[in-house]
A and B are shown apart, each in its own frame.
Chain A
Amino acid sequence: DAGITQSPRHKVTETGTPVTLRCHQTENHRYMYWYRQDPGHGLRLIHYSYGVKDTDKGEVSDGYSVSRSKTEDFLLTLESATSSQTSVYFCAIRKTEQETQYFGPGTRLLVL
């Protein structure tokens, strides 16, 4: 347990609406990540952050943006949700000097 919480845990929304998912950590780790999990694909990296206001794209970043205004929070925004963004979203942190990432409990998002 790396002190990671995600909110909301479940959300149903409609196509075209904006959605923001929050990842919160309590241990001030520098590196944070957003993944999505879909059947047949494992987990795929959306965006990651290596410090406050320092972010970069992952392999499936189209349609997503992120912000990190303070160390403990990493926000993932779907500007205009689409049905293809129905997924389970996981946040992760990485402790400096380690390669291992530790995951939050996930947010299940359904876009109708």
Chain B
Amino acid sequence: DQQVKQNSPSLSVQEGRISILNCDYTNSMFDYFLWYKKYPAEGPTFLISISSIKDKNEDGRFTVFLNKSAKHLSLHIVPSQPGDSAVYFCAASEETSGSRLTFGEGTQLTVNP
């Protein structure tokens, strides 16, 4: 029972263009969502998050959108840079579970120069 799903294992974009990574969830009790970036041989690095009371959060080149009715969130990276090439994980938590995170499978983003 995969409660958080990232249906695209990989995504390739050109430098300077927009990267859009998608994530779907099934548990309506999730109230906080996060995106992590992971380089090979390193731990995941926190990127950006959003509470369920919001529908958008922006931090520099990164914007996360949340559509609660569709149980869908997306991460937009504009403009994409070669250094953004990494695996991106979305994660979700519910406060009543002690903030345990449930992760998606990850999407490998490749930004081509």
Contacts and interface: CB of A to CB of B under 8 A. Distances in A.
Interface of A: 4, 31, 33, 35, 40-45, 48, 50, 56, 58, 90, 94, 99-106
Given A45-B101, A48-B98, A100-B34, A106 B49 contact: no
Interface of B: 4, 6, 32, 34, 36, 41-46, 49, 89, 91, 93, 95, 98-106
Given A99-B34, A101-B101, A42 B89 contact: yes
Contacts of A94: 99
B46 A102 contact: yes
Contacts of B99: 31, 94, 99, 101
Nearest to A38: B105
Contact of B103 (A42, A105, A106): A42
Nearest to B103: A42
A4 B45 CA distance: 12
A56 B36 CA distance: 24
11 contacts: A33-B101, A40-B105, A42-B4, A42-B6, A43-B44, A43-B89, A44-B103, A100-B46, A101-B101, A103-B43, A103-B45
- Among the interface residues B43, B45, B100, B106, which one has the most CB atoms of the partner chain A within 10 A? B43
A6 B44 CA distance: 14
A1 B93 CA distance: 22
Nearest to A99: B32
